[in-house]
Structure 1
Amino acid sequence: MLSASSDEAVLSGAEKTGPDPQPSDGSGGQPGATALLREPHGQPSPPPLPPPHMNGCVPLPHQVAGHRFGVRETGIFQHPDGDVLKQLQPPPRGPREMCFYDTVYAEDCRDPRLLELRSHLPKYHGTWSSSPDDGPAGGDLYLKLEDVTRRFVKPCIMDVKLGRRGYDPFDSREKRERQIRKYPLMEEIGFRVLGMRVYEATGDAFHSYDKRYGIGLVKDTLRDGLARFFNNGAGLRKDVVSAGVGRVRRVLGWFESQRQLVFYSSSLLFVYEGLLPSSLSLSLSSLPSIPSIGPASPEADIRVAVPLDRGPATMCANRRKGDAASNVVVAAASSEEDDSPRKHAAGRRSRPNENGIRSPQEGRSVQGIGETERRATRRDKDKQTKEEKEVEVRMIDFAHVFPSDSHDHGYIYGLKHLLAVLEQILHESS
């Protein structure tokens, strides 16, 4: 379930029944820009027939953003084995995205940051060609990616573009101005909803919202607009919001730990099961106040270390360098893990007098408390892990990724602001 890097939002087929009442966009009480589509009985309308050379591949039925086949000549397809096929974009965007995936998923990759990054991406299964000879000549080339929605019965999906701008430092002035006009608040908010698809359990139907819905969200309506994705018609899915917060925090942790890549026009894809647990078990058995964020310079997140024409080549070349440097990085990462705050905290508990000596009574007391704390921590962690497994949050769209020598300030800014909104939704629902 992946969206192309374009801003042309598409929705699963539906019959338009009129706009749903939306929060005001501040323009005299007029409803915010939106398009609401209802899919009767929870089933999308039949997609357009694919061209014959696609060899059994069909247009992705649950796409919420990006180019859609039938609307444009290109689109995103689903392979007969269930994988998603994303057509390679024209140079330099397409080759850059392919090189990104090749670098992260290389068999000889030893970079601990890239290895950790894999857990936040859809799995990459190489490329696929529509040519009968399985080659690019005479056919289109596609990235073959995991469909992260596949394990869900009623997948609710949201595509959120992250960062303070929708263009990269090498885009033309015309494109920069066009992207700024599209959503002027993005620099301040740090993210934008590109599209979403929500299952209404009470009516057994999906509701889909396109890019106009996201563009219509302003500061005063952002929280309620985002909360709509987590509402199944009967109430807010607080369990999903909580799990989503945990997932986004993990992505933020990765960004705060790395200084080698910077991402523009990239998105987070949220997916959760729309059926409630009781309904899900029956369905499966029948199957065969937002915290203030400090000001930052508009140019603070532009720290690209190489020019546009060298970006993909440099990334791939760096991966092909000798393993000696990589081994050093791995060793350094291991040292960092050993120096973690949790380890220090454990060390402090083992020597309460700061001299390693304690009385037998004190030892029994500390040991009892420590064991209780460990059990409670394990229970909390198991519960959190179980909740997070019910929600997918994956990074997608990498046509504008460049090597860097600093933190990705724009993406980090967007993640922190998105977290603040999600936490406010969770707090005000309690």
Structure 2
Amino acid sequence: MVKMSSEHQVMDSSLSSLGRLSQQDGGLCGAGLEKKLQVGLEKHLNGCVPLSHQVAGHKFGVDKVGILQHPDGTVLKQLQPPPRGPREMHFYKKVYTADSGDPSLLNLQHYLPKYYGTWSSPDAPTDLYLKLEDVTRKFSKPCIMDVKIGQRSYDPFASQEKREQQIKKYPLMEEIGFLVLGMRVYQVNSDTYDTYDQHYGRGLVKETIREGVAKFFDNGESLRKDAVVASMQKVQKILQWFEGQSQLHFYASSLLFVYEGFPRHGAPQPPGDVPPGGTTMMMTMATAGGDAGDLKERVLECNNNMCQVGLRENGHLAAALGQSLSNMYALHSRGCPLEHHVEDPQWKCPARAALEQSNGNGAKTQQDTADGTRGSVDVEVRMIDFAHVFPSNTRDEGYIYGLKNLLSVLQQIVDQYGLKTETI
């Protein structure tokens, strides 16, 4: 059973309460309520669903929409209120502009999720979302870690109250240079995920930071040595970029680590008709002999867990979605600039999207596997969250400091477990 963070437990309790209130209102109950709520969800979100494998940041809940998955496989990040949202959108546009001749920005594209413009639901055209690559999409059992990088998580224009608030959250940020915001680690022996939230990361100090990060590479049977070494290679590439640029400073930005948790030997393969991690909302038969009723009762949410979620089993969540969706949109639409829906044509064709090659920072790397043999390991390390990026004429020493300290911790893990690093 996947461990639930305190944040998830609070959200689950709130959603259950909303579900009970919804059942008392209007005289609907059982399957009728479920069907109406499901139709309402698909109508308002145009087929999008809450991102199931998110480990940090704004998550889907009662008072905020959070991150969504589009049926075409992309990730939708709702624009934050000004100035943060417009600033992040401007950053992506600047990096991905078609006529950019800046070699530094062109190189930076290798370390970011691909950007496909903006998206909005037909029912809420003023609520803009950044349309981004789902870095985890190609993985069957993605192990994910979100690490905030830098010596401070507030920007130079933050109020004194905001500065004090951020420092209080993690007083060791300046000394350690990074903060683990969340982790999701696949456990081979139980076919479940261990999850760790921001409270876990904030509890790590200098004496425990190595063991804390090492948990991300522990699959319940062994330490994923190949993933450690490959992750170091990716971080070093990003460090090289930062050491060679002096036009941007990044605050409260993170690195997203992803590696494949699926065992290499003797493991069942993902279904051939659905790309690993492919995202869509479709109906499926629970068993080969299921009838039409069974088909309507089960919904296969093809997220990165490839897990089945029944409407009856998750009825309280569906109730909360139908009840509070319009309120969520209203809350987040304030101050968002208007921009017409822009969508990359290739994402209209899921088959073509599945064939797209990964960024240069996500290529398979030959490393020593856990059993000592040579093999390939899929590892992604991408920079995310750019609501606090500012122009500069100096190197971003705070971010560089964080990257070096993170590399030092990864090297300590390598040394502790006697891993080979000659390929780094």
TM-score by length of 2: 0.66
Equivalent of 1:165 in 152, 166, 171: 152
Q: Which runs of 5+ in 2 are unaligned?
A: 10-36, 275-363, 369-373, 419-424
Note the 1:209-358 alignment, pairs <5 A: 209-280=196-267, 282-284=268-270
- Measured after TM superposition, the shift of residue 54 of structure 1 is 1.1
Residues 1:191 and 2:191 are matched in the alignment: no
Matched letter for residue 403 of structure 2: L
Give the Cα separation in 1 of the matches to 2:180 and 2:195.
12
Q: Which has the higher contact order (CA 8 A, sep 6+)?
A: 2
Give the Cα separation in 2 of the matches to 1:182 and 1:394.
24
Residues 1:428 and 2:419 are matched in the alignment: no
Q: Which residue of 1 aligns with 2:100?
A: 109
Equivalent of 2:132 in 145, 150, 154: 145
RMSD between aligned alpha carbons? 2.6
User: How many residues are paired up?
Assistant: 296
Give the Cα separation in 1 of the matches to 2:376 and 2:174.
29
Give the Cα separation in 1 of the matches to 2:191 and 2:125.
44
Q: Which residue of 1 aligns with 2:385?
A: 397
Contact preservation (8 Å) 1:97, 1:398: yes
Give the Cα separation in 1 of the matches to 2:365 and 2:215.
28
Percent of residue pairs bearing the same amino acid type: 61
Give the Cα separation in 2 of the matches to 1:397 and 1:100.
10
Note the 1:377-392 alignment, pairs <5 A: 383=366, 390-392=378-380
Contact preservation (8 Å) 1:164, 1:187: yes
1:91-138 superposed Cα distances (whole Å, 9 cap, x missing partner): 110010000000100000110000000000000000001234xxxx75
Give the Cα separation in 2 of the matches to 1:264 and 1:231.
29
Q: Which residue of 2 aligns with 1:174?
A: 161
Equivalent of 1:75 in 43, 66, 69: 66
Matched letter for residue 183 of structure 2: M
TM-score by length of 1: 0.65
SS of 1:108 mapped into structure 2? coil
Residues 1:84 and 2:67 are matched in the alignment: no
Q: Which residue of 2 aligns with 1:412?
A: 400
Matched letter for residue 238 of structure 2: V
1:265-306 superposed Cα distances (whole Å, 9 cap, x missing partner): 0000000001121145x3247766xxxxxxxxxxxxxxxxxx
- Measured after TM superposition, the shift of residue 388 of structure 1 is 7.8
Matched letter for residue 421 of structure 1: V
Matched letter for residue 78 of structure 1: Q
> Which sits farther off after the overlay, 217-226 or 270-279?
270-279
Q: Which residue of 2 aligns with 1:349?
A: none
Q: Which residue of 1 aligns with 2:277?
A: none
- Measured after TM superposition, the shift of residue 69 of structure 1 is 1.5
Give the Cα separation in 2 of the matches to 1:92 and 1:279.
51
Give the Cα separation in 1 of the matches to 2:255 and 2:81.
23
Matched letter for residue 366 of structure 2: K
Equivalent of 1:100 in 75, 82, 91: 91
SS of 1:244 mapped into structure 2? helix
Contact preservation (8 Å) 1:200, 1:232: yes
Contact preservation (8 Å) 1:243, 1:388: no
Q: Which residue of 1 aligns with 2:45?
A: 54
Q: Which runs of 5+ in 1 are unaligned?
A: 1-12, 20-33, 38-47, 289-380
Give the Cα separation in 1 of the matches to 2:404 and 2:113.
22
Contact preservation (8 Å) 1:36, 1:210: no
Q: Radius of gyration: which is bigger?
A: 1
> Which sits farther off after the overlay, 383-392 or 120-129?
383-392
